[in-house]
Amino acid sequence: MKKILILFLVLSIGYNAQDYEEGKQLFRNNCASCHNMEKRVVGPALKNVVKNQGKEWTTAWIKNNNDLRASGDKHANEIFKEYNGMAMAAYEYLGDGPISNIVTYLAEYNDKKAEAEANKPTPVASNQPVVVQSKGLGALEIVLLCVIVFILLVTIGILQYVLKSMINAYKKSKSTETYLLKKIDLSFDELNREFDGFIEEEVNKRVKIKMKTFENDIKDTIKKSFKK
């Protein structure tokens, strides 16, 4: 039920908007040669006529202002006099529907205009951010940017420092390693040499002893054989 009501409402608003647009078109075609909504041209400005005279009077005037004047209507005679008895044609031939649409247009003109004006700032506002953006950065944005750049620089510095000290530590460990290795190598060589010397000495000693005993043995045998 609610849905149907809403649909009806939407349709009636849409229908009303259609009335307004049709009235506007009819006004342009039939009345705009003598009337402007805002200002007096040949005939009076019409933006407040419905507000001041009412829908019924306005409809009657448009249909046949002559009849209205003849009926003794006060305002109809006054306005006719004001415009020096210049006759405005009767528009009965347009039909009740179209005339009612024209009256809708006259009646709602001010509202629609206000509405349009109220809506106007929106497209302007939607364009504005582009302009504002091209104006440059605000103070807050500059401060934020500075903070971000500072943080970045500090981070880069820290990273560099860490990397450097890592490389240094690696280098140091490498050099001590090679140093130790060299040292071990050296002492090994020395040890080798010492060991070689020791063996040489020992061998020499032994050979000497052997030679001595061998010499003595030979001497002994020679002595023995001579004794015999």
Q: Rule CB under 6 A: which residues touch ligand HEC?
A: 30-31, 33-35, 42-44, 46, 49, 53, 58, 61-62, 65, 79-80, 83, 86-88, 91, 102
To ligand HEC, the closest distance from the beta carbon of 119 in angstroms equals 26
Is there a contact between 61 and 51 (Cβ–Cβ < 8 Å)? no
Beta carbon nearer to ligand HEC, 42 or 191: 42
Q: 223 CB contacts (<8 Å, ≥6 apart)?
A: none
Whole-number Å distance between alpha carbons of 88 and 42: 10
Closest by Cα among 131, 119, 104, 76 to 13: 104
Whole-number Å distance between alpha carbons of 49 and 30: 17
Closest by Cα among 135, 154, 156, 158 to 146: 154
To ligand HEC, the closest distance from the beta carbon of 95 in angstroms equals 12
To ligand HEC, the closest distance from the beta carbon of 19 in angstroms equals 14
Beta carbon nearer to ligand HEC, 56 or 141: 56
To ligand HEC, the closest distance from the beta carbon of 116 in angstroms equals 21
To ligand HEC, the closest distance from the beta carbon of 130 in angstroms equals 43
Beta carbon nearer to ligand HEC, 52 or 122: 52
Residue for token pair 């509405």: 115
Cα–Cα–Cα angle for 98, 100, 101, rounded to 5 degrees: 60
Beta carbon nearer to ligand HEC, 32 or 167: 32
Beta carbon nearer to ligand HEC, 41 or 144: 41
Whole-number Å distance between alpha carbons of 45 and 198: 135
